[in-house]
């Protein structure tokens, strides 16, 4: 059983579940588009700051929260137990479960940022860096989604268990919109969500000099945090309900 086969099966399950479909596909898309015309975000400063805000919301709802809820549901249905006892490798299972939601979020991101480009009359200065920002944020949110699902007994409980992670993620994403130098800026870059804002802002608005120096620190720190979250999740994740 390959990751592609599992991803196709997971996609069918998502399409059959209205709650997951709304949480993963419809709600983030509507929220992202509404931010492009919101008077609150009109004062965000730059198109890059607005794009960073939109991407943070899309990843938080579409990946972090939805993965947590979906994994809790699959565990409760004993679906994860069946996958774990199948010939599929752990890597294939993880990729198969996460990739459909990541793909949905990617499509949403393309639509929302296209609207932002139209409304602002601008375009990303470094599109390749925008792709990197999405990939980095998606991996981070997926890792924290699996980690949070380790402590989530049911899909209903996910409404509570995601609150701490969502709060930290939003703090990192929005706090980074305020310039900060020195050791405080370094520590802030390690907060989940901070690197996403930094990378997206640089990707859209550009920098006077090359962007490598501007993204190296947040990229390395966020990658380290994502790897740490994934390692802890791999150790704590439960494939079947507690007896």
In whole angstroms, give the CA distance from residue 48 to residue 177. Answer: 10
Q: What is the pLDDT of residue 95?
A: 92
pTM exceeds 0.95 = no
Which residue has 């990617």 as its token pair?
A: 106
- Range with the lowest mean pLDDT among 1-5, 213-217, 226-230? 1-5
Nearest-CA neighbor of 219 among 243, 241, 239, 189? Answer: 189
pLDDT digits (tens, 9 = 90+) for 190-214: 899 999 999 999 999 888 777 888 8
């Amino acid at each position: 059983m390959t990751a592609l086969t599992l991803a196709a099966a997971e996609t069918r399950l998502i399409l059959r579940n209205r709650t997951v479909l709304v949480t993963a596909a419809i709600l983030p898309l509507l929220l992202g588009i509404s931010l492009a015309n919101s008077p609150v975000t009109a004062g965000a400063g730059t198109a890059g700051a607005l794009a960073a805000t939109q991407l943070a919301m899309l990843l938080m709802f579409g990946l972090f929260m939805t993965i947590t809820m979906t994994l809790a549901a699959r565990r409760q249905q004993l679906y994860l137990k069946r996958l774990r006892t199948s010939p599929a490798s752990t890597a294939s299972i993880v990729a198969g479960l996460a990739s459909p939601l990541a793909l949905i979020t990617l499509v949403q991101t393309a639509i929302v940022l296209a609207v932002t480009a139209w409304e602002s009359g601008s375009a990303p200065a470094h599109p390749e860096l925008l792709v990197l920002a999405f990939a980095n944020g998606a991996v981070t949110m997926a890792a924290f989604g699996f980690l949070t699902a380790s402590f989530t007994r049911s899909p209903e409980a996910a409404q509570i268990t995601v609150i701490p992670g969502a709060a930290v993620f939003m703090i990192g994403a929005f706090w980074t919109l305020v310039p900060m130098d020195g050791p405080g800026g370094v520590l802030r870059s390690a907060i989940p969500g901070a690197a996403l804002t930094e990378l997206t802002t640089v990707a859209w608005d550009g920098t006077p000099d090359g962007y490598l120096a501007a993204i190296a620190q947040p990229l390395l720190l966020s990658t380290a945090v994502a790897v740490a979250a994934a390692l802890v999740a791999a150790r704590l994740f439960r494939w079947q309900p507690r007896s």
